[in-house]
Amino acid sequence: MSKQPLGKLPATAFGMLEIPRLAPEIIAGFKALGDLTGITSDAMDDLGIAGAVPGSTLKPTDPGAKVVGQAVTLHNTRVGKSVPEAVAGKVSGLGDIEAHHLAEPGDVLVIQGVRDVSSMGGIMATIAKRSGEAGAIVDGAVRDIDHSRGIGYPVWSSSVSPMTGKWRILTVGVNVPVMISGVSVKPGDLVIADEVGVCFVPYERAAEVLAAAQEIAANEDKRLKMLEEGMSLANFLKVPRK
């Protein structure tokens, strides 16, 4: 059965209600890469794809976490009224529940948010975890990171802040193209994240990037084995990288 929006946002704010799905073996192939984002970034470089963001820009709340999953997107912007006005109206502008409703287990929530205003706190992290989402990428702030870390829900964000988005943020799009640290991300694109950074792989090129990444990984394994077996540095430097 096709999923339907819950109706909090105008219909025009919704993008895909069903995102295209990658073959499970593609996702499994990326998960099997040892140097997850490093190898993926190298493969994207070789193919002329710009989609890597450093971990200093999108910082992980759990340095040991790794995620590989397809993007469900959310576009948040600043609300057009003062905080006292919004509080008096008692109506939150956040529509992230719609994204959680559309997500499938293993998906990654990708939020174009607002710097220094939280787009995700403990309640929404708990809902996301219960929905089976692998984690979240937020170009903007998050809060309650002890809680999200405690429940095993990893988040990468460009800032942290105690200020709630409830009165400061308006969700203007669900499952629509978003911009994350200068990278365009569409629903269904593959999200790969670890302590080193985040890579956004276009859906239509995921298989191509995986093949290139696996070739690079195999070559690096061979080169590492040569070093472990005692090859001289002079000879090692003559070994082609590919």
Please state which of the ranges 7-21, 29-43, 141-155 shows the lowest mean pLDDT: 7-21
- Our CA angle for 3, 193, 175, nearest 5°, is 25
- Residue by residue, DSSP assigns 39-84 as HHHHHHHHTT---EEETTTSEESSTT--EEEEEEEEEEEE-SS-HH
Residues β-bridged to residue 184: 179
Of residues 32, 163, 166, 145, the one with CA closest to residue 87: 166
Mean pLDDT (the chain, rounded): 89
- Residue 106 belongs to a domain with what CATH number? 3.50.30.40
In a domain, 211, yes or no: yes
Share of residues in the chain with pLDDT > 70 (%): 86
Burial class from Cβ neighbours inside 10 Å (0-12, 13-18, 19+) for residue 235 reads exposed
Query: What confidence score (pLDDT) does residue 228 get?
Result: 67
Q: Is the pLDDT of residue 204 over 80?
A: yes
- Helix (H) / strand (E) element for 157: namely strand 155-160
Total structural domains within the chain = 1
190 part of a folded domain: yes
d(CA 236, CA 224): 10
Q: What is the pLDDT of residue 8?
A: 54
pLDDT at 225 over 80: no
- For the beta carbon of residue 52, count every other beta carbon within 10 angstroms: 21
> What pLDDT, on the 0 to 100 scale, is given for residue 20?
92
According to DSSP H, which parts of 57-166 are helical? 83-89, 96-102, 122-130, 145-150
Q: What pLDDT was estimated at residue 88?
A: 87
Confidence of residue 242 (pLDDT cuts 50, 70, 90): low
Residue 4 domain flag: no
The per-residue pLDDT for range 51-95, each reduced to its tens digit, is 999 999 999 999 999 999 999 999 999 988 888 888 888 878 888
Three-state SS for 1? coil
Domain assignment of residue 42, yes or no: yes
135 occurs within a structural domain: yes
Q: How confident is the model at residue 11 (pLDDT cuts 50, 70, 90)?
A: very low
- Confidence at residue 82, expressed as pLDDT on a 0 to 100 scale: 85
pLDDT, position 156:
98
Instruction: Kindly state whether residue 23 falls inside one of the protein's structural domains.
Output: yes
Alpha-carbon torsion (14, 159, 121, 55), positive or negative:
positive
Antiparallel, parallel or unpaired: β 67-78 and 183-185: unpaired
- Return the pLDDT at 1: 45
Give the per-residue pLDDT at 4. Answer: 60
- 241: in domain: no
Under the banding of pLDDT at 50, 70 and 90, the label for residue 162 is: very high
127 occurs within a structural domain: yes
Q: Which phi and psi angles does 73 have, rounded to 5°?
A: -110, 155
Backbone φ and ψ for 4, nearest 5 degrees, come out as: -125, 150
Domain carrying residue 141: 11-236
